Structure 1
Amino acid sequence: MTQNLVAVRPPISDSWRRSRRAGVDAGVRAAPLVFDRDVLADARVAHPLDPHLPLLEGLLRHVADETEHLMVITDDAGHVLWTQGPRAVRRAADAIGLTEGFRWSEDAVGTNGIGLALATGRPEYVYAAEHVAHVLHRWSCAGAPITDPDSGQVIGCIDVSATVEALHPATVALVAAAARLAESRLENEMRQRDERLRERLLPHLRGLREGGVLVTATGRIIGAAPGEPDLAGWRGRRVPAPECGATITLPDGRAAVAESLGGAFLLRPPAVRPRRGAAPRAPDAAPDDGPVLPAGEGPLLTLSFLGDGRPHARLDGGPLTLTLRHAEILALLALHPRGLTGDRLALCLYGDDGSPSTVRPEIHRLRQQFGDVVRARPYRLDCAVEADFLTLRRLLDDGDVAGAVRIYTGELLPGSDAPAVRAERDELAVRVRRQALDRGGADALWTYAQTEPGRADLEALERLRAVLPPGDSRLPAVASRSDRLLNGDA
């Protein structure tokens, strides 16, 4: 007597092998819980799909509400953030942890529609006994990953699950369509952000004789200075995510240096000498290796004042060496674009002991470096300004926690004792910490914990320790640092 053997589909057999290597037990009774209620709320608010949830729910509502189907949306790690479906199927799903706060990656519960889609990066379905866990053999599911068009990374999965009898094979096409719709909405948002960046930054690049390429923080090319090759062939191309001062290879093989413009980067040719008429440099200034704008067009001043490093400034790409006092003056003028009187600037710098006569010599020395960019009556900056601390403030005002903690490399001019700088520094530090704790989610908290203030922030570390799922590679470092602080060893 021969036994009929059913061939196992390759995606399923591959998933079985990954599940086996991860040590998943076929007798597992439910997915693990990773988020409590407070952490779940933070994760939802921080996720890029949160604004688009009504659209996805509306698209799938007739499926999930009128049949025995459950709609599930997860993040990139398979953590369930939202579910929708009739009460009966939700009760059955609760028994196996197919609900908010539980993890459905392959290494947590074995082969399943969510974990498989996240592992392969394409729409997948899993029927009945194709699941590793025996408890899931009465379930079938179809999942489709959602890719962020900005970063190119998978940010989540949309899944429809049901009992074996209820799930139709066409469901995989439905979830795939829902995922593409979500991606199209994310792409529209991305294009709007790109257009705002181009409107704000491209006017300042028109005079760059040696050219330059404008890219997003994720490395997408969105514009260029005149003189660059036609960008038609570069649209949609990526370079490695830039860091300030790093050398990046452009698509045509040229090397370029990344310069932060606040929310974007300029990739410009290295070691470009200034033309005649550039603003004079102080004798001890670093060599100028950046182009300048021609006369009659407003220059661009870029300030990098966050963190423990030396305050850094560039005027039209050319680096300038700053004393702490000059950095303080530039920070205050950037924070007050309408200008400050001599009395007010003295008060901001020195408190009640200051006077305009103390400020005037400093302004004179500053103008030796910056020329007419620094104006008087009132003291102000007559140029476009991009500053990391101003960008940080905008991100905080917009509620962009992920962007704020990413740019917050440390406190504003930490060596400064100028009263107004101290006040701004303290306000930014408090706002970053509060938003990271209240709305940040695991990734934002981890990024904050790498800053100098965050490394010694016990509350942030304990929250991060609770948020990170079991097995996360970051967990041992967080636990060790938290324990040292608790024991007074840090």
Structure 2
Amino acid sequence: MALSPTDVTHLAAVDAARAARVLSEVRSATLSGQRAPVAPRPVIEQSWGRLLRSGVDPDHDFRSGLLSREEVQRRRETTALRHVLPVLREGLLSVADVAHHIMVVADDEGRVLWREGNSSVLRKADGLGFELGADWRESVVGTNGVGTPAVVRRPVQVFASEHFQRSQTSWTCTGAPITDPRDGRLIGVVDVSGPLETMHPATLAWVDSVAKLAEARLREVHLASLERLRAVAAPVLARIAGRALVVDRDGWTAAVTGMPYQNRIALPKSLAPGRRWLPPLGPCSVEPLAGGWLLRPADEPVPVGATRIVLDLRQPRRWSVTVSGSAGSWSHELSPRHAELMYLLALHRTGRSAAGLAEDVFGDAGRTVTVRAEMSRVRRYLGAFLEHRPYRFREDAEVEVLLPDDPHDLLPHSTAPAVTRGRMSAEAF
């Protein structure tokens, strides 16, 4: 009886050696262009496709050097992952040690910053180059439990010969992305790894649940920081008669007076004190506060001349929109969902209804509530340049979309039907 990919996954829980043999045959056949006895799982097949197109050699492990101890320490001290390390240790380490696994935490660039767990497995990991400071991006070392979840933005388990690199096929790993709960930006990946015989299907749900606990902890940290900034802002705002708001260094609002509350203000990366133009406030006086900024909008109309909007989708996990006009230029980093929506609005310049966007993104025209909620968030930073009913870019705006060289690399995390269709054509724009 022929096995399906799901059967192989279940087989691995009871007979890891046999499952590894089957997957070895699948890997050999698929990578040599022959018909495989079992089709790879979709997430694995898509990863292999990306790597084959980019020219990664499955039989030779070429990678960049390790980060220095000083650089690892610097990244540990600056990453938001440091706030959730206790949550990850509590949720994963005790079980991982007993199950002959290790826990690995990597940053958003795939660099290993922490590595803890079973001592014998740690020594085996050294032989794979799974060391502190190592680069485990998918584009560097192939399909794996650190790099692949970072690309597809969801938990992934990679068992034995599902790894693209031959040197890793005796290993099993399960990773889940950790994202900033405020805007969906990738912060890093937590991975549980070990020899192939330690694989269990339940590991995927376990690691994912702990990653979600870590994201909940990040949300608590953010709210606590806003409370501290709000305490600093209170006496300052009490002395101001006009409109003003206080935001943290990332633009999240802590307090407001004399104007409607806005959840977040898009700030340029190099904001400095003085008179600045900020969307959607217009001209503002910008003053530094401990932990944030005091913004005082001026009573002048917002200039509206010719506008150029550039949507940059070339680099995975670095999607952005840049607006240039008579008032200057500013950029905003996009979350995975907002990158999808901006792409679809650029594709449909005449506009798209909420139902149309729901069909494009979810394959379900009924999910209009979700679409409207996301578009409401988009309008917080791009509202002056968007119309609605239907949703569209302003007619007088020049819109340019920068796409990956290979259309298959368009928003690789996305499963949206319209994006999937876009990957099939290089002539969309």
- TM-score range (shorter-chain normalised) is 0.5 to 0.7
- Provide TM-score, normalisation by structure 2: 0.56
Partner of 1:259: 286
Kindly state the Cα deviation for residue 96 of structure 1 after the two structures are TM-superposed.
Answer: 0.7
Kindly state the Cα deviation for residue 12 of structure 1 after the two structures are TM-superposed.
Answer: 2.3
Kindly state the Cα deviation for residue 209 of structure 1 after the two structures are TM-superposed.
Answer: 4.0
Kindly state the Cα deviation for residue 94 of structure 1 after the two structures are TM-superposed.
Answer: 0.9
Mapped contact 2:101–2:193 kept (Cα < 8 A): yes
Q: Which amino acid aligns with 2:279?
A: T
Q: Which amino acid aligns with 2:111?
A: H
Partner of 2:259: 228
Q: Which amino acid aligns with 2:195?
A: T
Q: Which amino acid aligns with 2:259?
A: E
Q: Which amino acid aligns with 1:249?
A: P
Partner of 1:247: 277
Mapped contact 1:74–1:157 kept (Cα < 8 A): yes
1:160 is aligned to 2:192: yes
- Mark the CA change 1:43 to 1:239 in structure 2 (over 3 Å): closer, same or farther: closer
Partner of 1:183: 215
Mapped contact 1:248–1:256 kept (Cα < 8 A): yes
Kindly state the Cα deviation for residue 157 of structure 1 after the two structures are TM-superposed.
Answer: 0.9
Cα deviations across residues 401-433 of structure 1 (Å, max 9, x unaligned)? xxxxxxxxxxxxxxxxxxxxxxxxxxxxxxxxx
Mapped contact 1:56–1:182 kept (Cα < 8 A): yes
Kindly state the Cα deviation for residue 21 of structure 1 after the two structures are TM-superposed.
Answer: 4.2
CA–CA distance in 2 between the matches of 1:185 and 1:195? 15
CA–CA distance in 1 between the matches of 2:54 and 2:293? 40
CA–CA distance in 2 between the matches of 1:260 and 1:95? 53
Q: Which amino acid aligns with 2:276?
A: A
SS of residue in 2 equivalent to 1:189: helix
CA–CA distance in 1 between the matches of 2:51 and 2:246? 43
- Mark the CA change 1:22 to 1:34 in structure 2 (over 3 Å): closer, same or farther: farther
SS of residue in 2 equivalent to 1:49: helix
SS of residue in 2 equivalent to 1:246: strand
Kindly state the Cα deviation for residue 135 of structure 1 after the two structures are TM-superposed.
Answer: 1.4
Partner of 1:108: 140
CA–CA distance in 2 between the matches of 1:152 and 1:240? 17
Q: Which amino acid aligns with 1:248?
A: L
For the aligned residues, what is the CA RMSD?
A: 2.7
- Mark the CA change 1:219 to 1:98 in structure 2 (over 3 Å): closer, same or farther: same
| Of 141, 144, 152, the match for 2:176 | 144
Kindly state the Cα deviation for residue 103 of structure 1 after the two structures are TM-superposed.
Answer: 1.0
1:74 is aligned to 2:111: no
Partner of 1:63: 95
CA–CA distance in 2 between the matches of 1:19 and 1:5? 21
Kindly state the Cα deviation for residue 151 of structure 1 after the two structures are TM-superposed.
Answer: 6.5
Kindly state the Cα deviation for residue 113 of structure 1 after the two structures are TM-superposed.
Answer: 1.3
1:41 is aligned to 2:73: yes
Mapped contact 1:258–1:265 kept (Cα < 8 A): no
Kindly state the Cα deviation for residue 186 of structure 1 after the two structures are TM-superposed.
Answer: 2.3
CA–CA distance in 2 between the matches of 1:207 and 1:21? 61
Cα deviations across residues 49-94 of structure 1 (Å, max 9, x unaligned)? 3354333222212222111212111111111111122222222211
Kindly state the Cα deviation for residue 162 of structure 1 after the two structures are TM-superposed.
Answer: 2.1
Deviates more, 1:190-199 or 1:41-50: 41-50
- Mark the CA change 1:12 to 1:267 in structure 2 (over 3 Å): closer, same or farther: farther
Cα deviations across residues 299-340 of structure 1 (Å, max 9, x unaligned)? xxxxxxxxxxxxxxxxxxxxxxxxxxxxxxxxxxxxxxxxxx
Kindly state the Cα deviation for residue 206 of structure 1 after the two structures are TM-superposed.
Answer: 3.4
1:98 is aligned to 2:126: no
Mapped contact 1:31–1:97 kept (Cα < 8 A): no
Kindly state the Cα deviation for residue 111 of structure 1 after the two structures are TM-superposed.
Answer: 1.2
Q: Which amino acid aligns with 1:255?
A: G
Mapped contact 2:125–2:131 kept (Cα < 8 A): yes
Partner of 1:269: 297
Q: Which amino acid aligns with 2:287?
A: S
Of the two, which has the highest radius of gyration?
Answer: 1
Partner of 1:26: 58
Cα deviations across residues 233-281 of structure 1 (Å, max 9, x unaligned)? x44x45344724332223xxx5352513233223332246xxxxxxxxx
Partner of 2:234: 202
Kindly state the Cα deviation for residue 44 of structure 1 after the two structures are TM-superposed.
Answer: 2.6
CA–CA distance in 2 between the matches of 1:32 and 1:157? 19
Mapped contact 1:31–1:96 kept (Cα < 8 A): no
Unaligned runs of 5+ in 1: 273-490
SS of residue in 2 equivalent to 1:60: helix
- Mark the CA change 1:188 to 1:13 in structure 2 (over 3 Å): closer, same or farther: same
Mapped contact 2:142–2:163 kept (Cα < 8 A): yes
SS of residue in 2 equivalent to 1:33: coil
- Mark the CA change 1:200 to 1:68 in structure 2 (over 3 Å): closer, same or farther: same
Q: Which amino acid aligns with 1:160?
A: V
Partner of 1:391: none
- Mark the CA change 1:207 to 1:36 in structure 2 (over 3 Å): closer, same or farther: closer
CA–CA distance in 2 between the matches of 1:267 and 1:152? 25
SS of residue in 1 equivalent to 2:113: strand
Mapped contact 1:29–1:96 kept (Cα < 8 A): no
Kindly state the Cα deviation for residue 97 of structure 1 after the two structures are TM-superposed.
Answer: 0.8
Mapped contact 2:138–2:147 kept (Cα < 8 A): yes
CA–CA distance in 2 between the matches of 1:221 and 1:91? 47
Q: How does 1:55-454 map to 2 (within 5 A)?
A: 55-149=87-181, 152-225=184-257, 227-229=258-260, 231=261, 234-235=262-263, 237-241=264-268, 243-244=271-272, 245-250=275-280, 254-257=281-284, 259-262=286-289, 263-271=291-299
Mapped contact 2:87–2:210 kept (Cα < 8 A): no
Kindly state the Cα deviation for residue 32 of structure 1 after the two structures are TM-superposed.
Answer: 4.2
Give the fraction of aligned pairs with identical amino acids, expressed as a percent: 37
Q: Which amino acid aligns with 2:145?
A: G
Kindly state the Cα deviation for residue 160 of structure 1 after the two structures are TM-superposed.
Answer: 0.6
- Provide TM-score, normalisation by structure 1: 0.49
Kindly state the Cα deviation for residue 106 of structure 1 after the two structures are TM-superposed.
Answer: 1.0
SS of residue in 2 equivalent to 1:165: helix
Unaligned runs of 5+ in 2: 3-34, 301-429
Mapped contact 1:214–1:224 kept (Cα < 8 A): yes
